[in-house]
Structure 1
Amino acid sequence: MNNKKISLPRTPAAWLEAVMNFIFFLCGILAVGCVLLISVYMVISGVPAIQEIGLFRFLFGTRWASTAADPAYGILPFILSSVYGTLGATVIGVPIGLLTAVFLSKAAGPKVRTAVMTAIELLSGIPSVVFGLLGMQVLVPAVAKTFGKASGACLLSAIVVLAVMILPSIVSVSVTALNAVPPEYEQGSLALGATDVETWFKVSVPAARSGIAAGIVLGIGRAIGEAMAVMMVAGNSPNMPDSLFLSVTFLTTAIAKEMSYASGLQKQALFSIALVLFVFIMGINILLNVVLKGGKRDE
């Protein structure tokens, strides 16, 4: 008796499925490979300057004078400026974005929803330099006049610009997540006597938490990595951010404004700043994903 298995020829649909699975696998590997390559390159480029300057002096030094006769490479002012700027933009942008998303998804009429969503989509397509130009021409003079300062190019102006820039990411992703909540959830809440507002914020928003968290992560990622708009409104002085009205430099702008003429240790130090920024962004993303998307998954 012949026990040899007979393999039937694959159908065209099976071949197509196999090919598509292979393509999807390659795309996934490509994405992971790009992240690994960037990580390796940043480490190779950034570590030598940190070794020469000293990790503590580099991260906690308060003076940056890369072109002085006695150069100093302390980036603590840049780190704190980036942290405060991102935190301020998040405090302003996240509540506004979330409330706007709830309004568009649950309360707005079709015409209003279409008009506002179109405006948000246009806002997301505006280049960073345009935000910076508008901030420099409109916001900076307004801040100086309102608070009686000689210059409005300061941390506060950067926070406001970043808050506006992160709104499209938060609103669009949050609206999609809220629209995906099963209507039975809301119907059950209303049947139990809850009001519309109570249903939106106690049922719909928690049910869409994962999607809303994704929008917040995208928005914060854009705020951390923004360079051009911040460069045009923050003043670009390497001061400690002790006040909202001081001219400051972010990690991104520190790299952008000096890389064109940097050389030697100065250029290596700029790559080290990029490495710190890369680690900072990765850490923030991991933390936000754990805090916002983690928690009570089984409920």
Structure 2
Amino acid sequence: MRLSGALLLSRRSADRFLSIGLMAAGLLSGVLLLFIVLFISMESWPVLNHTSLSTLLTSTDWRPSMGRFGLLAILVGSLSVSFLALLLAAPLGLATAFYLSVYAPPKIAAFGQKLIEVMAGIPSVVFGLWGLVTLVPIMVHLSPPGTSMLTAGIVLAIMIAPTLTVFSLLAIKSVPMATVQSGRALGLGRGTILRTIILPQARPGIVTGTLLALARALGETMAVMMVAGNVVHIPASLLDPVRTLTANIALEMGYALDAHRSALFMSGLLVMLITLIIVMAAGFKSDGTDKAP
């Protein structure tokens, strides 16, 4: 009895220490995030003494040497490339998830899932290098020099498609197997089960994965910088070069001073705020999934 009581006390102590350790880790993460936000906000503030916020967000004139820091064209470039990538990646990612989860034989499904997970972990610079040496020469035939919003969108779509597929597979696997088996017992085909049983229950999780893939696209730097063309203007077509907020930071931070440097931090703050909104929307959809009956 004494031994069992000592073991019980030891387990309770271990659980208490684990709970305290996890709480401390969570608090530390929150404090670090708050510190980063405050730091970027403070570094962004000086440019507002030089240019009003409305001018920063509505002007397309980005000429730091002349003290002009309009971010609208760069912001439009970021959003255009990200949404184009999502538009291209969503059909590919969802079709792959549906095939692997419903139609593929077990061995092919297992191999395919491992391959998708490996692709999701490939560094972005590898995709950018592939786009630069393979895709850009092809796009030259459409519109020289080949670096454009479309090129960046294709490269970015290939990057985020595995992420979207992974989240979609997780959402589909969360559907109770008993529900799927009931559909099979009724003689429903795989396509009908997918449309009428799996998709309605997995939709919130799929939407969450889609939003998180969009957040990743918005924050991407190297791959986009290598193939987008990096010209500051609002694109008139898919074949026009663009510059994104993240690429703008990477290209100019090395020599930026004073208000110019502050304007680049403002670019980073915009990326952070947009990403935060997307992640919060994804979390809202996830909460809705958890509360669903």
Q: Secondary structure at the match of 2:140?
A: helix
Corresponding residue for residue 91 of structure 1: 87
Output the CA distance in 2 between the equivalents of 1:198 and 1:47.
Answer: 56
Q: Secondary structure at the match of 1:52?
A: coil
1:36 aligns with 2:30: no
Output the CA distance in 1 between the equivalents of 2:176 and 2:282.
Answer: 25
Output the CA distance in 2 between the equivalents of 1:199 and 1:252.
Answer: 42
Report % sequence identity: 32
Unaligned runs of 5+ in 2: none
Corresponding residue for residue 139 of structure 1: 135
Q: Secondary structure at the match of 2:50?
A: helix
TM superposition shift of 1:45:
1.2
Output the CA distance in 1 between the equivalents of 2:87 and 2:283.
Answer: 18
Task: Specify which of 47, 71, 74 is matched with residue 75 of structure 1.
Answer: 71
Q: Is the 8 A contact 1:154 1:233 kept in 2?
A: yes
Q: Residue 260 of structure 1 aligns to which amino acid in structure 2?
A: G
1:188-203 to 2 correspondence within 5 Å? 188-203=182-197
> What per-residue deviation string (whole Å, max 9, x for no partner) do you get for residues 185-218 of structure 1?
1122333453211211321122223432332232
Q: Is the 8 A contact 1:231 1:253 kept in 2?
A: yes
Q: Residue 151 of structure 1 aligns to which amino acid in structure 2?
A: P
Task: Specify which of 264, 273, 287 is matched with residue 279 of structure 1.
Answer: 273
TM superposition shift of 1:50:
2.6
Please state which structure has a larger fraction of its residues in helix.
2
Corresponding residue for residue 13 of structure 2: 15
Task: Specify which of 258, 269, 272 is matched with residue 264 of structure 1.
Answer: 258
User: Residues 38, 56 of structure 1: CA spacing in aligned structure 2 closer, same or farther, 3 A cutoff?
Assistant: same
Q: Residue 145 of structure 2 aligns to which amino acid in structure 1?
A: S
- Give me the CA root mean square deviation: 2.1
Q: Residue 40 of structure 1 aligns to which amino acid in structure 2?
A: L
Q: Is the 8 A contact 1:209 1:293 kept in 2?
A: no
Unaligned runs of 5+ in 1: 1-7
Task: Specify which of 85, 102, 105 is matched with residue 106 of structure 1.
Answer: 102
Output the CA distance in 2 between the equivalents of 1:110 and 1:193.
Answer: 21
Q: Secondary structure at the match of 1:80?
A: helix
Output the CA distance in 2 between the equivalents of 1:166 and 1:58.
Answer: 30
Output the CA distance in 2 between the equivalents of 1:282 and 1:275.
Answer: 10
Corresponding residue for residue 226 of structure 1: 220
Q: How many residues align?
A: 288
Task: Specify which of 203, 217, 227 is matched with residue 211 of structure 2.
Answer: 217
Corresponding residue for residue 118 of structure 1: 114
Q: Residue 102 of structure 1 aligns to which amino acid in structure 2?
A: F
Corresponding residue for residue 46 of structure 2: 48
Output the CA distance in 2 between the equivalents of 1:219 and 1:232.
Answer: 20
Q: Is the 8 A contact 1:239 1:246 kept in 2?
A: no
Output the CA distance in 2 between the equivalents of 1:18 and 1:289.
Answer: 28
